[in-house]
Structure 1
Amino acid sequence: MMWWVKARRAHTVLPSALGLFALLLVVFQGDSVALPSLTAGATQVVLALFIPVPLVSGLAMCLDMRLHADESTAVRPVKYMDSGLVVAVSVFAAAMSALAGVALEDAVTEAVGRNTLFLTGLMLIGRALFGRPGVLLPTAWILAVCLCGFRPGNDAYPWTILPEPLGAPHAAAGAMLMFGAGLIVQIRYARNPS
């Protein structure tokens, strides 16, 4: 177990990523910035959309760190240990987001946990399909949302998931489905070490 944690660098990368995640939750809160949009001119996008990126990137980095020879002959189920790490980090981040949102009385901050689950699932699917370049899929999704995810009047399309309000049932369902699909892909179709 200890070799797995050291090989993944989970003991150094994830505490830093979670610390940055917590700092960004407090700093950004409901702040927004005007960004150009292809569908609605200029839109006001909350900076909280970008908060999960360092955490998801850190998690992807940990999953990409491996001891290829040891893992190809390992008796322990490394794929399940990796999936457990993903679940633990994602649930912890969602709990941090919920607590920060309640403490700061900011629904946008509370929604960051849902967005983290969505982007983590997207990253897992991207890694399985495209390898290391697939970790850029969450960032590409955020850029697509910013560029063409809003109607005039700063109203987000339902497919965007990320800028939807906290109580939107389709956004919660979409995030849970993406996270679940990402875990299934991680367990069943992840690239074998070579």
Structure 2
Amino acid sequence: MECTGVIAEIGRAVNNCPRIILEVNGISIPQLVRLRENGKLDISMKKYSGKRSLDANAYYWKLLSELARVLRTSNEELHNMLLESYGTLAEDEDGNLIVHFLPETEDYQRYKHEHYMPTGEVLEYEGIRFCKFYRIKGSSQYNTREMSQLIDGLIYECKNMDIETLPPEQIERMMEAYAKKHNTSAGIHSTGTAKD
């Protein structure tokens, strides 16, 4: 867990060890309480070097890891759950939703590179029950609107668990940078026309 801050006060404890009071940003009171419950901590402090602009994808995975730790689940499972709730369904070239059938016993939420949304439909073939799923686009294929929707959903879930998130104006700047990067890689000028 990383954060920024300043040393507000320096003193000496009863056992003659230095005692400091920190004012910190980017960490919530419940997170600090959980840290204190762990007892002894590894602590690292260094001179502040200024923040680089945060990439939307990197921020998503950083926040997702924090939430997965609190929920005691894996990053893959949580990513699949978030895609199921806030992601975008995949379509073929004709605009039809892509359908898959997986055995009922399959733990699709542990998949790393494929993502599915259950439809609730089950059919049986040669004695095996299969569940019908819609395929969900991987987040690396998301446009700005889709990525923004996914990050907004993750932020909502984090706030419900008292996990500190970036201020709205910082999120907005991050998504603007994502849009510029996405449009450039897609070969789109700022006017919205494709390159030749």
TM-score range, shorter chain: under 0.3
The structure showing larger relative contact order (alpha-carbon pairs under 8 Å, at least 6 residues apart) is: 1
Q: Counting helix residues as a fraction of each chain, which structure ranks higher? A: 1
